[in-house]
Structure 1
């Protein structure tokens, strides 16, 4: 039995911190021979309940465009990671609450490690909103690496 995970799940949102997390995950995957899975979560807050057909039709059209953009984003992320030497086994597009979908996917694929970037929320904003990384740490079934930008 190896200490190193066979599968690493990298959660990304395109932020600077997520970019740092991607570099860390790629390096870890490369050095340990772990397969890397990539996930981006499209928020369901974009699904307000519209009662009229026209509004639902328009919303579905917009969501279709957002899904296509998200798939393109994931593909670009995959290409970057593979250029850094990581073996990207699969890129996943999910919809919902980011923290819940990350934890759920990690369980589904049997991830041994989740890598996320920290948004660095502080003070009142963090108290009111919490953060995706905090929630993933609290609910994940496996270790979580939260990558922060060096403040020094």
Structure 2
């Protein structure tokens, strides 16, 4: 089985990964841990950002890059420590679109994602990655909600 697991560094994503390892993982599975960076989304909803201030934009970008590197390092270590046949990949853009696209590229048989449990208003305004993936993926999607 080829499994794509969306990882954003949140507790919810880590819980989904742990659930997969406990209940689904088999040694012969091929696992892709996917982290997607979307700089536009972060800048659009960062209330501390003053529009047009290049220094604050640069600081926000650097902070996001630092967090993404930490997530990737953690996921690479996780694969190695657990002797998983797989890889950690980082892409850029809309997370939902990138998850669905990468699942198609690797011919995934299952997509796993966590759920932040956004309220109706936040989900309507911000969108929900897991909702997008559920409605656009060609393979089963498991959304872990803890």
TM above 0.5, yes or no, is yes
Whether 2:100 is the aligned partner of 1:103: answer: yes
Deviation at 1:124, TM superposition (A): 1.5
RMSD: 2.8
Aligned to 1:115: 112
Unaligned runs of 5+ in 1: 49-54
1:87 alignment partner, SS class? coil
Residue number among 5, 11, 20 corresponding to 1:10 in the alignment: 5
Whether 2:128 is the aligned partner of 1:131: answer: yes
Structure 1 109/8 Cα, relative in aligned 2: closer, same or farther at 3 Å? same
Residue number among 65, 73, 76 corresponding to 1:75 in the alignment: 73
**CA-to-partner distance for each residue in 1:123-152, whole Å, 9 max, x for gaps?**
222222231001001001111110011xxx
Q: How many Å separate the matches in 1 of 2:60 and 2:118? A: 30
Structure 1 22/86 Cα, relative in aligned 2: closer, same or farther at 3 Å? farther
Q: Across the two proteins, how many residue pairs are aligned to each other? A: 137
Q: How many Å separate the matches in 2 of 1:8 and 1:95? A: 20
Aligned to 1:142: 139
Q: How many Å separate the matches in 2 of 1:95 and 1:43? A: 6
Aligned to 1:90: 87
Deviation at 1:25, TM superposition (A): 2.5
**When the two structures are superposed, what TM-score results if normalisation uses the length of structure 2?**
0.77
**When the two structures are superposed, what TM-score results if normalisation uses the length of structure 1?**
0.74
**CA-to-partner distance for each residue in 1:35-65, whole Å, 9 max, x for gaps?**
11011111040689xxxxxx6xx85x98577
Greater C-alpha Rg: 1
Deviation at 1:16, TM superposition (A): 1.2
Unaligned runs of 5+ in 2: 45-53
Q: How many Å separate the matches in 1 of 2:127 and 2:112? A: 18
Structure 1 70/128 Cα, relative in aligned 2: closer, same or farther at 3 Å? closer
Q: How many Å separate the matches in 1 of 2:63 and 2:12? A: 25
